[in-house]
A and B are shown apart, each in its own frame.
Chain A
């Protein structure tokens, strides 16, 4: 047995080019559907991991997919907004905790996410250097954003104007970096987090300015009577929140009407989740509630449908390749007729000769299987990192 295998092995080594081509073709045909399945499975896990950890989400009525992507990955350029009062309604229901998200602004291409302190515990985010948010005007930065922007605690980052051409628009706000988060391998690594009130200041809904009732602000006064002071346009509004001016910052109007882009809702239990979802079924509401995992699963179903077509195509190509390989072997046998006759004449039995031929085929197939398996293992090992890099791009 060993001698026949040896003969088959030596034949393959002698015709190494033909052998390499055969092994490579069969390896690829075996690897393609398997590798594709691994990639898709890992992609699904990557895309759904964040959705799985986010039980429910409330947002303005519209595309559920847009809501989920903008809230989970902070991707939407112009997200729809809803009233902050929705958070109080959810919290007051006693059915869930509500974490507001206001992710409308950017700083050098990185999303600025206005939220509450509860967000960090919810996402398991920890401070690597510096400290947590404490006061208006501060930010904590994701690890990748900090590295890319060269930020560290004590530094500053300025919000980008919404439009370069909007000269009368909101002034950029200079924020103090309080801390940098630990690497979490999520979209949070690329974000800049601020208190939601700081985000409202960026939106121009809150500001600090000179005390116009004081004599030194006389130049900023347009008119004055016993009960009201009207300031003119020269009144100095602060573009940076410091220890000296922080107490002067204030908001005008009812905070419950201020904008947010989404609510992350964490129900107390499954029953509470069902009750909450039922409350949002009315067509008359301007808000919607979604289960992020359901939305992502629907998206992935579409991808899997495409995968099925690709796999079907790969299978057809594979069959064609195997047929070609079989043809190669058959033609090879025909070309080796004299070699086979020589083996027979020097005493080789039909069984032995057949074993030599079969062993050649077996070695090629086995080698292809091993290589396909190795490629699959490599894909499984490093595919996640590659997918995450692609998602972040």
Chain B
């Protein structure tokens, strides 16, 4: 009996083993669909403070905006460490200013599908900086680095375009909150255009008055409001050397400006020497990084107030 069971079992085992070699044809699989985005707040990383402000105004609670640049560094020339770059990689969206701002982006590994160039819609209106010193080597000929002015948000009309680009990309990522984003954008647009209108009114009065810029960062401001503006390379926290003062003197012969716009408060001695040359100093903060007090809009309103005597002569 036991032997009979062994024989039956043996036969079944044999059948099983043989049939294991006879399988059906391999089936092909299709690639799985991409994983849809989660339902929590969108993680948004930005490269400068204006974008930080715009994204928060538009997105509200629906977005978690991060701007890791230290408050005491110029975000345009800041270089994040590897860990910070990895944090950017983890974002749902990375908002770029465009126009070559934030050079570190060119040498960082970022997910291209999540990069948003907020200046892409007006790329044809970016200002080329033709006077940049070029260099050449090898057969390629001349080339330069940093050929485009990048403080686009100082043209508040372009700032509105950047905000619109942010709204659209947020709405594409979270269509169920599109109406909220539209409300946030509309509110921001009203505020930006109010400042824009006030600046335009001032500029209409003082358009003919020549003005100096301490640094070549006011190109978009000058174009938007048709200011007669020429720039030098003075730093607020450094006293210019004699060559720089000579250059200013030569420039004043052709461009007799009575005011110089500064990114920050200049040194007292610099302001004093400028006053001796007939040039008063006034701060027009581009607000590329977060201000110690207030926000982007309060800084712009303060800039308008600072510009009033420059353009109206009051």
Contact = CB atoms under 8 A, between A and B. Distances in A.
Interface of A: 2, 5, 30, 34-35, 37-38, 41, 44-45, 48, 52-55, 91, 97, 116-118, 131-136, 138, 178, 195, 197, 209, 212-213, 227-232, 235, 246-247, 249-253, 266, 268-270, 293, 297, 366, 369-370, 372-374, 376-377, 380
A131 B86 contact: yes
A136 B107 contact: yes
Contacts of B34: 97, 266, 268
Given A197-B106, A229-B136, A369-B18, 15 more contacts: A48-B28, A52-B28, A54-B31, A55-B31, A91-B113, A118-B113, A134-B83, A197-B107, A212-B137, A213-B135, A230-B136, A249-B107, A293-B28, A366-B11, A370-B13
Contacts of A131: 82-83, 86
B109 A117 contact: yes
Interface of B: 3-4, 7, 10-11, 13-14, 16-18, 20-23, 26, 28-31, 33-34, 79, 82-83, 85-86, 89, 103-104, 106-113, 131, 133-137, 140, 142-143, 145
Contacts of A35: 21
A229 B134 contact: yes
Contact of B108 (A136, A178, A227, A268): A136
A231 B135 CA distance: 7
25 contacts: A5-B7, A30-B18, A34-B18, A37-B21, A38-B23, A52-B31, A53-B31, A55-B31, A97-B34, A116-B109, A117-B109, A117-B111, A118-B113, A131-B82, A132-B89, A134-B83, A134-B109, A195-B109, A228-B134, A229-B134, A246-B79, A252-B143, A366-B14, A370-B13, A373-B20
A41 B113 CA distance: 37
A266 B113 CA distance: 12
Given A133-B109, A135-B108, A250-B106, A377 B28 contact: no
Contacts of A235: 137
B23 A41 contact: yes
Given A118-B113, A131-B82, A228-B134, A34 B22 contact: yes
Contacts of A30: 18
Contacts of A209: 137
A115 B81 CA distance: 21
A229 B145 CA distance: 13
Contacts of B29: 52-53
Nearest to B112: A116
B22 A44 contact: no
Nearest to B17: A373
Contacts of B83: 131, 134
Contacts of A377: 17, 20
B133 A372 contact: no
Nearest to B131: A227
Contacts of A252: 140, 143
A37 B82 CA distance: 50
A387 to B, nearest CB: 13
A199 B80 CA distance: 22
A178 B34 CA distance: 27
Contacts of A249: 107
A178 B86 CA distance: 12
A56 B222 CA distance: 49
Max chain A C-beta neighbours (<10 A), residue from B16, B28, B107, B131: B107
Contacts of A117: 89, 109-111
A253 B137 CA distance: 14
Contacts of A134: 82-83, 85-86, 89, 108-109
Contact of A2 (B3, B10, B31): B3
Contacts of A38: 21, 23
B278 to A, nearest CB: 28
B66 to A, nearest CB: 16
Nearest to B16: A373
A76 B116 CA distance: 35
A230 B21 contact: no
